[in-house]
């Protein structure tokens, strides 16, 4: 079956067949975190979504260069203060200490969610020269102007000459004339209110600043992604991603800077993830509608009735498409936990299934293979994880019927069973990367699983020898550890209480 990847391109607002610039290779840039505070769950949703996209592209045979930056300078707050400097001031730390501390936390959280590391993770502060060069070429091309040591991007001139400003975000320039996002203090220096700073002169007390032809200062936030994507992926590359909230001004201004400096659209496909909500509302610290990943894992929050393992949270995220909003609720998480357990149990059983294929039934084989193909087709359809998961779930009752003998496993051919095992391995280990962190579901693939298999074997031989004291002691001790041993037709399994 020929597979064709389609993705929704924010630039054209439609689904398009994906064609890479160079056959077999993909350059992908995703805006990384601003490392001035702990990573929050919304960020996690976005980075988990792009991890799945990265993993799926790899699984589809592409060689991918995945660049995800770290913003450690230039991302200003509404009052014009640099987020990093503010973090440093409040915590009495060096800005680089702040950046290191929260980069470490971010990386640890990405590991918890079982995501792959990007191919390159450049930092804005490590690319000041490239950013200064880009400002210079924007000035040389007539789209940048200097005023009192700061340099601004002339959005009106750019728009009039290229017709490109506002295309990505769908905003019209008239609406933007009131936008004053980069620095409240510098409005009078701008030719037009919608212009944005690409280089900012630093005040004397500003901590992070560098020499430049215009002033001792620092780059505008949007500039780093233009400079770093160009450096590592070239002037034009395949995919650029980020959260919806970055479409404007960040991505719109990135496009303007790239076209303004080298004359071309940086990325052919722009992908945007939608926002994570909680109980139907935007997550917000000010009205208490917020929960940290740690609180969600431990259950130490009024918003949840219990803790949920990182993989349950990830599974919950994958049950929505990355372009839909995702509403975090306790009920939703409880349901996700059930679903996740069911899927992992089935996966565990599937690994142990064997067939001789003696009474191979074409209809059964076909329905299994159709569901597998449908799951891949769903991923090819703009990475539709909820639909792909629903195909796997349609196979789960069949696996369970083979296990409890309601259906005869020999009706499945050896090739179909192998294809089914490979598809589950591929989805659960490579593409969705839902390593089992609940119970022994993954089979003897982890140390805990191996140890549990050993304990269960010891208990089994004690029972065979009628050594009830040993077998009962094992059961009781397990019980104290909140581990329940379940004896069934298929042997003994275990779950957490
Ligand atoms: P920041 O560290 O604020 O630059 O954000 C890092 C990434 O997380 C960006 O791609 C944001 O768009 C994304 N992001 C921020 N808040 C949310 C949210 N509530 N839901 C999903 N993604 C988010
Ligand atoms: Zn960016």
Tell me the pLDDT tens digit for each residue of 246-261: 999 999 999 999 999 9
Q: Is 74 in the pocket of ligand 1 (CB under 6 A)?
A: no
Q: Is pLDDT of 48 > 80?
A: yes
pLDDT score of 83: 81
pLDDT band at 185 (very low <50, low <70, confident <90, very high): low
SS3 116: coil
CB 442, CB 494: distance < 8 Å: no
pLDDT confidence tier of residue 372, bands split at 50, 70 and 90: very high
Instruction: Please check whether residue 93 is in contact with residue 101, taking contact to mean a CB–CB distance below 8 angstroms.
Output: yes
pLDDT tens digits for 201-245? Answer: 999 988 889 999 999 999 998 999 999 999 999 999 999 999 999
Q: Ligand 2 centroid to 221 CA: how many Å?
A: 8
Q: What is the mean pLDDT of the chain?
A: 91
Taking only the tens place, the pLDDT of each residue in 300-327 is 999 999 999 999 999 999 999 999 999 9
pLDDT for 490 beyond 80: no
CA of 208 to the centre of ligand 1 (A): 24
How much is the average pLDDT of 402-431?
97
Number of the ligand closest to the Cα of 227: 2
CA of 30, closest atom in ligand 1: 10
Name which residue sits closest to atom 2 of ligand 1, judged by CA. Answer: 33
Rounded to whole angstroms, the Cα distance separating 278 from 261 reads 41
Q: What is the pLDDT of residue 442?
A: 37
Pocket probe for ligand 1: among 43, 67, 248, the residue whose CB has the most ligand atoms within 8 Å is 43
Please name every residue paired with 29 in a beta bridge, in sequence order, or none if there are none: 67, 240
Q: pLDDT tens for residues 153-178?
A: 999 999 999 999 999 999 877 666 55
Give yes or no for residue 444 having a pLDDT over 70. no
> pLDDT tens digit string along 1-44?
678 999 999 999 999 999 999 999 999 999 999 998 899 999 99
pLDDT at 483: 85
Q: What percent of the chain has pLDDT over 70?
A: 93
Please tell me the predicted confidence (pLDDT) of residue 438. Answer: 67
Residue nearest to atom 15 of ligand 1 (CA): 43
Residue 477 has pLDDT above 70, yes or no: yes
Is the C-beta atom of 242 inside 6 A of ligand 1? yes
Higher pLDDT, 78 or 127: 127
Ligand nearest to the CA of residue 258, numbered in listed order: 2
DSSP H stretches of helix in 40-191:
41-59, 83-91, 95-112, 128-140, 155-162, 173-176
Ligand closest in space to the Cα of 228? 2
CB 320 near ligand 1, within 6 Å: no
Distance 384 CA to ligand 2 centre (A): 24
Which residue from 31, 34, 40, 42 has its CB within 8 A of the most atoms of ligand 1, so it is best to mutate? Answer: 42
pLDDT score recorded for residue 439: 56
Phi then psi dihedrals of residue 429, to 5 deg = -95, -45
C-beta of 139 in contact with ligand 1 (< 6 A): no
Look at residue 78 in the predicted model and tell me its pLDDT: 64
* CA distance readout (Å), 223 to 72, 219, 226, 243, 419: 13, 7, 5, 17, 47
The neighbouring-strand residues paired with 34 are: 71
Q: Could you say which ligand is closest to the alpha carbon of residue 43?
A: 1
pTM of the shown model: 0.87
The 3-class SS string of 144-176 reads: EEEECCEEEECHHHHHHHHCCCCCCCCCCHHHH
With a 6 A CB cut-off, is 43 part of the ligand 1 pocket? yes
pLDDT value for 182: 55
d(CA 95, CA 346): 49
Whether ligand 1 lies within 6 angstroms of the CB of 87 is answered as no
Q: Which residue has the tokens 């037009």?
A: 192
* 436 Cβ below 6 A of ligand 1: no
pLDDT band at 441 (very low <50, low <70, confident <90, very high): very low
């Amino acid at each position: 079956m020929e597979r064709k990847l389609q993705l929704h391109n924010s630039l054209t607002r439609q689904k398009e067949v994906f064609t890479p610039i160079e056959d077999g290779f993909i350059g992908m840039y995703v805006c990384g975190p601003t490392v001035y505070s702990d990573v929050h769950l919304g960020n996690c949703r976005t980075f988990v979504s792009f991890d799945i996209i990265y993993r799926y592209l790899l699984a589809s045979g592409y060689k991918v260069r995945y660049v995800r930056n770290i913003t450690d300078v230039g991302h200003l707050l509404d009052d014009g203060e640099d987020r990093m400097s503010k973090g440093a001031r409040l915590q009495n730390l060096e800005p680089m200490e702040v950046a290191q501390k929260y980069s470490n936390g971010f990386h640890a959280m990405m590991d918890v969610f079982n995501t792959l590391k990007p191919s390159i993770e450049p930092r804005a502060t490590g690319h000041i020269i490239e950013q200064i060069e880009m400002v210079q070429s924007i000035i040389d091309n007539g789209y940048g102007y200097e005023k009192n040591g700061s340099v601004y991007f002339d959005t009106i001139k750019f728009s009039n000459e290229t017709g490109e400003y506002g295309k990505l975000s769908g905003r019209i320039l008239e609406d933007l004339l009131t936008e004053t996002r980069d620095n409240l203090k510098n409005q009078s220096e701008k030719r037009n209110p919608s212009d944005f700073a690409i280089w900012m002169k630093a005040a004397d007390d500003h901590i992070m600043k560098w020499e430049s032809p215009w002033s001792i200062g620092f780059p505008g936030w949007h500039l780093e992604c233009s400079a770093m994507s160009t450096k590592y992926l070239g002037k034009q590359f395949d995919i650029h991603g980020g959260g919806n909230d970055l479409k404007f001004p960040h991505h719109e201004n990135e496009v303007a800077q790239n076209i303004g400096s080298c004359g071309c659209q940086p990325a052919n496909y722009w992908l945007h993830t939608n926002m994570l909500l909680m109980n139907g509302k935007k997550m917000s610290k000010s009205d208490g509608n917020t929960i940290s990943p740690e609180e969600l894992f431990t259950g130490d929050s009024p918003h949840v009735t219990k803790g949920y393992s990182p993989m349950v949270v990830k599974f919950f995220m994958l049950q929505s498409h990355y372009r839909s909003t995702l509403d975090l609720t306790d009920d939703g998480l409880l349901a996700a936990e059930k679903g996740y357990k069911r899927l992992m149990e089935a996966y565990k059983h599937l690994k142990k299934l064997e067939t001789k294929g003696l009474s191979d039934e074409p209809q059964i084989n076909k329905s299994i293979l159709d569901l597998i193909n449908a799951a891949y087709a769903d991923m090819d359809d703009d990475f539709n994880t909820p639909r792909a998961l629903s195909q796997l779930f349609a196979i789960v009752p069949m696996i369970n019927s083979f296990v409890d003998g309601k259906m005869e496993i020999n009706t499945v051919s050896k090739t179909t069973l192998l294809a089914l095992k490979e598809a589950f391995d591929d989805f659960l280990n490579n593409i969705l990367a839902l390593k089992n962190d609940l119970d022994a579901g993954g089979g003897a693939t982890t140390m805990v699983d191996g140890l549990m298999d050993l304990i269960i074997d010891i208990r089994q031989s004690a029972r065979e020898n009628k050594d009830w004291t040993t077998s009962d002691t094992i059961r009781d001790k397990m019980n104290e550890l909140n581990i329940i041993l379940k004896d069934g037709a298929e042997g003994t399994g275990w779950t957490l209480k």
